[in-house]
Chain A
Amino acid sequence: MRTARPRCRDWLLAAVLGLTPGACGDVGEPPPVARPGDSVLQRALGGEADPGFARALEPRDFDFPADHGPHPAFRNEWWYFTGVLHAEGGRAFGFELTFFRVALQPGELRERWRSNQIYFAHFAVSDPHAGRFHAFERVSRPGPGLAGAAGEPFAVWIEDWSVRGSGGNWRLRARDGDLAVDLRLAVSREPVSNGERGLSRRSAVPGNASFYYSVPRIAAQGDVRIGATRHPVQGLVWLDREWSTGALSADQVGWDWFALHLDDGSNLMIYRLRDADGQPHAYSAGTWSYADGRVEHLGREDFRATALTTWRAPDGSRYPIEWRLELPRHDASLRVAALMAPQWLDVLVPYWEGAVRATGARAGQPLAGEGYLEMTGYAVQ
């Protein structure tokens, strides 16, 4: 079975994962992997979090806009922006802009340069039309304005990658090399709490949970620039927000995450925690939210995901890029396929995250959509 095994390739990999360059190849037991930020964190700081960090123990009511901002009492946190953008003439782009916050130790340490917080971020653009995928990574301390996050006015940034705004009007900007994305985001809908009123449990151990909400349907308009060409685009952006301190249990090796904007106006999010045999873990879950504001939480028994075809990444690991999602209780079945196979981020912990299209039916009615798929923990030794 495939296990998540870091490769001795990248400095941050070595640094954050607790390896000195000479110690490559002898990393011991691979720790469990969920989202990339999770794995980075766990390996950097060890399985057991410092008891000085706050933990997600009880359900809570989110408080916006404050909760859009950082929660430094928790060990880690992320802001995930993904979406499929459409240019004139039917050309589609996928983009991902993700910010991670990691606390190196509990407590408040916020001087001009010295801080216990570190930010890192991934920026990726999928261009299926041209068959190109671009991914970048940044890491920074907050320093005197290099990186940070705030609730109101909303801001999360690392150098010149940022999402900022106030009220419901945000602006997302990221560029690297000859690639840039500049979007105006209209955050008009209420965020959707995942799990039990925002408490998303990962295992039976109390505190091995996160606070987790999504803003599934953000209208976006702007442009994608590739080289000298500017493509005006519009589309829907999905924001996933999560903060936590706990670790995964040892029997979870990775996860598959689906976030789909469906054409009936609903949004389907499913995360599937995998055990060492590739089987879904009991704490896998999901959320189906509807245009009328209704929210349904899905348990492990409410869905079944079957990998149909796989793609071999340059590092030799194999990622399923076509899935069948079956939701028997909803009489729904969807075939989810990547817009292009190589949407693999060759970053410190490599993972696959990319734009997908979904087709199928629910209760006999055709149902289609598009969105993002994330897969971690497939890396081969």
Chain B
Amino acid sequence: MIPLAWRASAAGLLRYPLQSALAVLGLALGVMVFVAVDIANQGARRAFDLSMQALAGRATHHVVAGPAGLADEVYVGLRRDLGLRDAAPVVELSVRYGSETLRVLGIDPLAERSFRGFAAAGALAPAVWRRLLLEPGAVLLAASTAARVGVQVGEAFEVGASGRRHTLTLVGLLDEHATRGLDNLAVTDIASAQSLRGAPARLTRIDLMLAEDEARTLEAVRALLPPEASIVPASARARATRELAGAFTLNLTAMSLLAVVIGLFLIYNTMHFNVLRRRELFGVLRAIGVTRGEVLRAVLLEALLLGACAAALGILAGDAIAGRLLALVGRTLNDLYFSVTVGEARLSTASLMLGLVLGVVGSLASALVPALEAMSVSPVAAIARRPLERRVGGWLPGLALAGAALLAGAGVLAISSTGLAAGFAALAALLVGSALAVPWLTAAAGAALGRLSRRGPALWRHTLGGISAGISRTGVAVAALVVALSATVGVALMVGSFRVAVQDWLESTLRADIYVRPADGFSGVVENALDPAVVESITGLPAVAAVSVARFVEIADGARTVPLFAVRMPDLGQRSIRLLAGGEAAWRAFDTQAAVLVSEPYAFHNRLAAGDTLRLPTPRGAREFAVAGIYRDYGSDRGVVMMRLALYREYWDDAGISSLGVYLRPGEPLETATASIRAVAEGRQALGLRANRDLKRVSLAVFDRTFEITGVLRWLTVIVAVLAIVTSLGALQLERSRELALLRALGMTPLQLALMIVAQTVLLGLFAGLLAVPVGIALSQLLIHVINARAFGWSMDFVLLASPLAEALAIGGAVALLAGIVPAWQSARRTPAAGLHGE
């Protein structure tokens, strides 16, 4: 037989199906967001791992160097002098085919056996690998890639790479399964890849598979390497690349947890509502011999049911929307970090379990207080609400004190700690602390309003006085709304400040009128260079007053790469780079000595300060460069090392130029200058030209795209909060039906009653919006000065924007209005008699 308490419990849940359903929906949304973010993060990570794995094959180590890569002879030496059999040469580059980017992997099919099965001669038909070996430009694509880009086997197609056109021929198809996660991969022979790169006799890396005698072999390999080359474990290289995006994915997870927390508010609210409403019932049950434990278990079981339903729904929904989210995450990763083709979003057991645990355990935890409350109901139950409200009212100052302590803790944590995790802890403390203080503040404000209205009309008195009446529930609802709204405000302020800072930075940094780079070029690679003759012609154009010259390359330094930006800027009287540390002396050192400037994130990630030294591997051996100063740069969250072009050329044998900034003579029209630049490059190199204005616009567009996903999460969070407020305010009004009926009986018209109810809820909503302003501002400070600084190393000024604050107030009011309308309408429709008999 089902225990009596359980049956009573089930009846309780079903008594207000809408209330229960909304609670489940709210938590389900939270779980959905969390699960979807988790799946998307994992999907991106898996796609990345898969592609790294497939590309590295079974390699245990890579020999890397930079930026020019390795001479063929290094590889020949490993095989011929060292007798290493499991070594494979690799030339990697990217090319453009229409709007698609093809990732070209140049290999020796005869050396691939130990590494990438799909590229080994044995996996290919003899006719195919013979063509690969013999024909310049012969490539293999996966069937899916070939179909998408619309190339048939046997067909020739033209691609662009660093301003030059090349003809490739699709001679065969890659094994679809073995190249999973490698969409847009084009496999070609090493000879073809070298000529595509325009770097004969250079390899981008050498893959090794070392097993026995690893230490000895490593030592022997090292002895053969040129000074700028290093040998790194494949796993370390993959990890170093993947970690680039670590802070980004952690931020997403944190935001998704916020949605869950707000969902849990909702559960608490519903359970509390259910318990309060059934106090009488619990009293009766206890009187007929049901034990306290049974009551406790029954209430917890309810929470368990709600949580399980919510978790199940949330997991299903999260799984369903994860694909969309993954596309967003993937695009950001592609914009900012590394090229990854995000494949399928698949629900992993880990995501599923996490979602389940969050939903169920969270739900149980948030029902604990209501359950204890139910357990404590004495058999001779006090039927009236008042004593409880009074008791709840008694807890409020304590809660507020705890909240204040948490807020203080958040402040201390933010200031004294250094880690990103501690930053998130401070963030959590701020939100929870605020939430705890909200009910007391609401009650206090309600009481104050009540006092103010004492001499006003009766309707006023009832309206304002009633606000703090149901504080045990309204407090929680308002707290949930405050958390959601302040998160919205905080994030919006952070993003807004960030955007202003980026705009300022673009303004001051981008000074040239036209930026010139090779068409179809890819950043950071050595082959992306302008034709020297084209550079000379552009510099000599009559319309051109001056040019800035930049070389951007990635220097392999062990497992990681150092983005190196070598520049020669024209003397325009004013520097376009803003120094954060180092001062005038830094510029003198930069201009004349073996010194570099590092961008703020680079200094942050590598713990560098002005005056430190930076060791870089160069073809002349490892060299130390003085860090003369730190400059502001929002272009890369990894950071950049900036060097005088002449100094770069002293150490690296690379005369290449990645881009030109063209300064026009005053009065020269942009269109004419652009046309003449194109004209001088005609027939020599295809150029990508960007006017100053366009470059700024594109840069900001990338910035906005980066925060698109943040915006989506923010709105999902608000939706959960809206559900919370709608259910709790709705329930409150429902419960007050007897009181409301009395007011009607005392002569209040239905319209007046409805207005009163709506006014009460709107006031609560506005109050939440108001509270969200300071909390949101505090939150944005944490996000800007703690989270952003610790995750990415960027500093920026806080900009107080009015719109997010107004938004919070408006949302608060609107949401509350929405929440008030239904109960207002219902109460107004009810006859006083029905209300008085109710319950």
Residues of A within 8 A of B (CB): 10-18, 20-21, 44, 104-105, 109, 111-116, 118, 138-141, 143-146, 157, 159-160, 175-176
Contact = CB atoms under 8 A, between A and B. Distances in A.
A324 B814 CA distance: 106
Interface stretch (B115-123, B586-594, B686-694): B115-123
A112 B200 contact: yes
Which 9 residue pairs spanning A and B have beta carbons closest together? A11-B122, A113-B191, A160-B83, A114-B191, A15-B121, A144-B72, A159-B79, A15-B122, A145-B76
B618 interface: no
Contacts of B189: 113-114
Contacts of B113: 11
B79 A160 contact: yes
Nearest to A161: B83
A112 B191 contact: yes
Given A112-B201, A114-B133, A160-B79, A144 B122 contact: no
Interface residues of B, number: 31
Contact of A143 (B108, B120, B122, B136): B108
Interface stretch (B124-132, B379-387, B485-493, B516-524): B124-132
B507 interface: no
Contacts of B194: 112-113
A100 to B, nearest CB: 13
Contacts of B76: 143-146
Contacts of A14: 122
B458 interface: no
B190 interface: yes
B80 interface: yes
A111 B72 CA distance: 13
A146 B79 contact: yes
Contacts of B72: 112-113, 143-144
Please indicate which of the listed interface residues A140, A157, A176 has the most CB atoms of chain B within 10 Å of its own CB. Answer: A140
- Which of B108, B122, B201 has the most A CB atoms < 10 Å from its CB? B122
B110 interface: yes
Contacts, number: 85
Given A11-B122, A112-B191, A144 B73 contact: yes
Given A17-B126, A141-B110, 7 more contacts: A111-B191, A138-B85, A140-B111, A141-B108, A144-B76, A175-B83, A176-B83
A11 B123 contact: yes
Contact of A145 (B73, B120, B136, B200): B73
B123 A21 contact: yes
B81 interface: yes
Nearest to A348: B122
B79 A104 contact: no
Nearest to A113: B191
A105 B122 CA distance: 19
Contacts of B190: 113
Contacts of B125: 18, 20
B112 to A, nearest CB: 9
13 contacts: A15-B120, A15-B126, A105-B130, A111-B191, A113-B108, A114-B136, A114-B189, A116-B134, A141-B108, A141-B110, A144-B201, A159-B80, A176-B85
A360 B34 CA distance: 87
A144 B122 CA distance: 23
Residue from A13, A114, A140 having most chain B Cβ neighbours under 10 A:
A114
Contact of A109 (B82, B120, B134): B134
Given A113-B191, A144-B72, A144-B201, A105 B121 contact: no
Contacts of A113: 72, 108, 189-191, 194
A374 to B, nearest CB: 25
B80 A146 contact: yes
Contacts of B110: 118, 139-141
B122 A160 contact: no
Nearest to A139: B110
Nearest to B112: A11
Contacts of B82: 160
Nearest to A175: B83
Given A113-B190, A159-B79, A104 B201 contact: no
Nearest to A104: B130
B142 to A, nearest CB: 16
Contacts of B120: 11, 15
Interface string B454-497: 00000000000000000000000000000000000000000000
A105 B130 CA distance: 9
Contacts of B80: 145-146, 157, 159-160
